């Protein structure tokens, strides 16, 4: 089949689908992946056709003031841009659409207009359940009834966020208007399969999910067989004991402008040194280690790749590097608890220090603690602004590195993950669709 995968958002929202697409191509299918233009090299490196989506996730996140209302306004504008892009990508030809959580509320309408099947492939366990509250609603359980009610409410919030984009897209595709509630009832009634790229070793399958809602294991970003870490990073790793990795991914997109990057970098460097460990700091969207980023660190060439150097022999700043190659060689991973980075650290059998910021990140931080592979969370705001931030992070890093129970728990989860084949389960489902 000719398969179109659509994904939008941060690196962690897109990269797992490159490995999945490569696996589908190995099975004999032709795969295109539609994403923001900044991911074109990543997609093509996996041997997939790239199709561009116009919406820029960095602009949707932004760094401007305005609070939650402004964030929702930006997100809704992002969605309205995204719809026509998905339609244009699908119009280039596809026998099947594979949809991420971000693109599914729009992509289903493109599939309807084209008369082809679609399959939802979210990276979060986002169907309502009594076992835990919605992944974007914090970590405090509301009881089984309350958790399920909150899960249904969260889906209605998504409906409202996508309402204008869905209305515009259906009109563009020549489809009749349908109220959001009617669309959800129709989708729930069809009992279609939804495959979640989540390891049941980290999140047990909810006991009250209907048949067809499955946790199949993670999909991993494509890593070329001959991929290697940059020479400067290899030299750094060889020069001393395993370092602690620090990276916050797509968090803090506006940090370069308001000085947060400088404070955050300075606090991270101070914490690593107080903990007595070497460090690899990933610049990410916040630009950690950039000019004025603290302690004389040089810029690491941004999130697309490359390496910079620190003021001393104990700290190195890097751009985007394959987690699959780096994480197994670290002593611990300090990260924002995004779904992909959380899974990558566990896959490597490495303990974590979660620094959750927003959305589903507190959920993954709590799951790390539940399986014993992560310390308690360090608040991102405290790390970026608090005077005691270096001591707070240093204490957590020390626990993760020095207390063997964390690594033992991470290794236990890694062994279970190694027995899973999330991509293989998608291949089976796709060929069933065909």
Q: Which residues contact 152 (CB under 8 A, 6 or more apart)?
A: 128
pLDDT (tens digit per residue) in 213-249: 999 999 999 999 999 999 999 999 999 999 999 998 7
Structure confidence at residue 337 (pLDDT): 92
Task: Count the neighbouring beta carbons within 10 Å of the beta carbon of residue 409.
Answer: 20
pLDDT of residue 65: 44
Q: How far apart are CA 391 and CA 281, in angstroms?
A: 18
3-state secondary structure of 167: helix
Angle at CA of residue 244, ends 196 and 379, nearest 5°? 65
The residue with tokens 């402008």 is 257
Burial class of residue 224 (count of CB atoms within 10 Å of its CB; 0-12, 13-18, 19+): exposed
% helix, strand, coil for the chain, step of 5 = 50, 10, 40
- Tell me the C-alpha distance between 318 and 410, whole Å: 24
Cross-strand partners of 51: 34
Determine contact, residues 280/245, Cβ cutoff 8 Å.
yes
Residue 260 pLDDT: 72
How far apart are alpha carbons 366 and 372 in whole angstroms?
A: 10
The pLDDT value recorded for residue 68 is 62
Q: What is the DSSP string of 74-123?
A: HHHHHHHHHHHHHHHHHHT--SEEEE-TTTHHHHHHHHHHHT--EEE--S
The enclosing H or E element of 7 equals none
Per-residue pLDDT of the chain (434 residues; tens, 9 = 90+): 999 999 998 888 999 999 999 999 999 999 999 999 989 999 999 999 999 998 676 655 544 444 567 767 778 888 888 999 999 999 999 999 999 999 999 999 999 999 999 999 999 999 999 999 999 887 888 999 999 999 999 888 888 889 999 999 999 999 999 887 787 777 777 788 999 999 999 999 999 999 999 999 999 999 999 999 999 999 999 999 999 999 987 665 444 455 677 788 888 999 999 999 999 998 876 677 744 333 333 333 333 333 333 446 899 999 889 999 999 999 999 999 999 999 999 999 999 999 998 788 999 999 999 999 999 999 888 887 766 788 999 999 999 999 999 999 999 999 999 999 999 999 999 998 54
Q: Under a CB-based contact definition with an 8 Å cutoff, are residues 254 and 62 in contact?
A: yes
What does the pLDDT read at residue 358? 79
Q: Can you tell me the distance from the alpha carbon of 227 to that of 339, in angstroms, rounded to the nearest whole number?
A: 23
């Amino acid at each position: 089949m000719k398969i179109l995968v659509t994904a939008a958002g941060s690196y962690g929202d897109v990269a797992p689908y490159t490995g999945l697409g490569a696996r589908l191509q190995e099975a004999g299918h032709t795969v295109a992946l539609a994403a923001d233009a900044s991911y074109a090299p990543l997609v093509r490196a996996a041997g997939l056709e790239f199709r561009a989506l116009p919406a820029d996730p960095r602009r949707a996140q932004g760094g401007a003031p305005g609070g939650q209302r402004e964030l929702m306004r930006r997100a809704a504008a992002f969605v309205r841009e995204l719809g026509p892009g998905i339609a244009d990508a699908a119009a280039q030809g596809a026998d099947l659409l594979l949809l991420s959580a971000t693109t599914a509320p729009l992509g289903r309408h493109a599939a309807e207009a084209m008369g082809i099947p679609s399959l939802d492939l979210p990276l979060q366990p986002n169907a309502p359940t009594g076992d835990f509250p919605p992944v974007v609603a914090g970590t405090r359980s509301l009881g089984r009834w309350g958790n399920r009610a909150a899960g249904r409410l969260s889906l209605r919030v998504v409906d409202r966020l996508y309402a204008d984009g869905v209305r515009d897209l259906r009109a563009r595709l020549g489809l009749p208007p349908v109220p959001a509630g009617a669309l959800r009832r129709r989708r729930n009634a069809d009992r279609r399969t939804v495959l979640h790229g989540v390891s049941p070793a980290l999140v047990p399958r909810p006991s009250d999910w209907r048949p067809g809602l499955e946790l199949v294991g993670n999909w991993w970003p494509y890593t070329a067989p001959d991929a290697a870490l940059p020479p400067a990073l290899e030299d750094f790793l060889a020069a001393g004991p395993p370092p602690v990795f620090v990276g916050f991914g797509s968090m803090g997109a506006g940090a370069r402008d308001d000085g947060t990057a400088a404070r955050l970098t300075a606090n991270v460097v101070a914490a690593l040194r107080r903990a007595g460990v070497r460090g690899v700091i990933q610049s990410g969207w916040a630009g950690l280690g950039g000019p004025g980023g603290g302690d004389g660190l040089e810029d690491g060439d941004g999130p697309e790749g490359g390496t910079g150097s620190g003021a001393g022999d104990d700290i190195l700043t890097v751009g985007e590097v394959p987690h699959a190659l780096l994480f197994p060689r670290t002593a611990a991973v300090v990260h924002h608890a995004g779904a992909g980075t959380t899974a990558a650290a566990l896959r490597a059998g490495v303990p974590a220090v979660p620094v959750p910021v927003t959305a589903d990140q507190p959920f993954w931080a709590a799951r790390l603690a539940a399986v014993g592979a992560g310390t308690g969370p360090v608040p991102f705001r405290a790390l970026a602004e608090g005077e005691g931030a270096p001591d707070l992070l240093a204490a957590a890093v020390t626990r993760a590195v020095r207390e063997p129970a964390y690594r033992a728990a991470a290794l236990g989860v890694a062994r279970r993950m190694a027995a899973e084949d999330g991509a293989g389960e998608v291949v089976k489902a796709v060929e069933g669709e065909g």
